[in-house]
Structure 1
């Protein structure tokens, strides 16, 4: 039988989802995210060492705007928001990438280069593929395997993994580098072919095929 699910590490890329200060230890912190920062950093460092692409997906909300997920829209329209463009809370923790987001560029839809084959990319909805250049960015680099990690599994990482499989990418979840995993959520992802691996598993795969 053909194998359409196993990771192809020489053609892999890492997509880090919504790991921003406000969601880590700010006013809208997601439980379990801060505790995984060091594991996330090890995962990023493994991809850098293997010279494979890393894309940090970021969100931002401007109080009063309406181009927001429907579940949050009323609150943002009324003036509340986290990860406001230009705020410290909207930045990726320096432990993961030490860069100041160019929000004018990012919110225009363009990726921001923050290192060798490493980018910031803004998304307006749950999935990192929705109305973004992520698919073009990955295909232009010959990527066949998307490794997803970050904050927080039931929302944006899960949506991104579903969209990755719909685009015929081999999809991997770095379980110990993602907040809010539960056995039920992981089992649902296995049903659509997502490979559930640890950071150590992924680092070994990258090292073997380096």
Structure 2
């Protein structure tokens, strides 16, 4: 446990794909259950903001020509589906989780791999596939800031959060999954995360620790 237990004071909070087009009721690519966990996500975010700990919002952007879209969705985008398209409201973070200093996403900067500042010690970054580390500078960004623990919340556990947690574990980060602040969580998935040393916890544990 000494190698996998969270170091909360050197942790970063990551939200995954909590954008309008994935999160809101009746959105084009709604992940059922995401709107229901938003209040818990907000409370985790507030705790991190009050403590001054870093936050990164990891997002997807699908170019309308489909050129950067994963193959399972590319045909739909090429045929006119608009999901998290650059410069649209659907691509923006849901209003509930935005910081006070939030500004509209700079799609050009994000697609170029840059981190966009959206608050004090708070950024947005783009990932081109399921995992937050795949073809991104996330690892270098975290190592530079001596962050060794990653706390995950967000949208659609089976896909992007789950992949990102495996990637974080592969890089020897300490990994935390806030299970009640993430949509589409299921018991077998929790067991899988436990098996690779992920610290699975509840919102209340985070709030009791981040004071």
- Indicate the TM-score class for this superposition, using the shorter chain for normalisation: over 0.9
Structure 1 residue 184 corresponds to structure 2 residue 188: yes
Aligned residues: 206
**Quick one: which of 167, 174, 177 aligns to 2:178?**
174
Runs of 4+, deviation exceeding 3 Å: none
Give the aligned partner of residue 78 of structure 2.
77
**Alignment check: 8 A CA contact 1:145 1:172 kept:** yes
TM-score between both structures, scaled by the size of structure 2:
0.94
RMSD in angstroms over aligned alpha carbons? 1.2
- Quote the Cα distance in structure 2 between the aligned partners of 1:45 and 1:105: 26
- Quote the Cα distance in structure 2 between the aligned partners of 1:32 and 1:153: 11
Give the aligned partner of residue 104 of structure 1.
108
- Quote the Cα distance in structure 1 between the aligned partners of 2:93 and 2:103: 8
Structure 1 residues 70-79 or 158-167, which shifts more?
70-79
TM-superposed deviation, 1:48 = 0.9
- Quote the Cα distance in structure 2 between the aligned partners of 1:70 and 1:3: 40
- Quote the Cα distance in structure 1 between the aligned partners of 2:197 and 2:71: 28
TM-score between both structures, scaled by the size of structure 1:
0.94
- Quote the Cα distance in structure 2 between the aligned partners of 1:151 and 1:95: 14
User: 2:95 aligns to what SS in structure 1?
Assistant: coil
TM-superposed deviation, 1:27 = 2.1
User: 1:36 aligns to what SS in structure 2?
Assistant: helix
**Quick one: which of 199, 203, 207 aligns to 1:199?**
203
TM-superposed deviation, 1:80 = 2.1
TM-superposed deviation, 1:77 = 2.9
- Quote the Cα distance in structure 2 between the aligned partners of 1:151 and 1:177: 9
Q: Which runs of 5+ in 1 are unaligned?
A: none
Q: Which runs of 5+ in 2 are unaligned?
A: none
TM-superposed deviation, 1:136 = 1.6
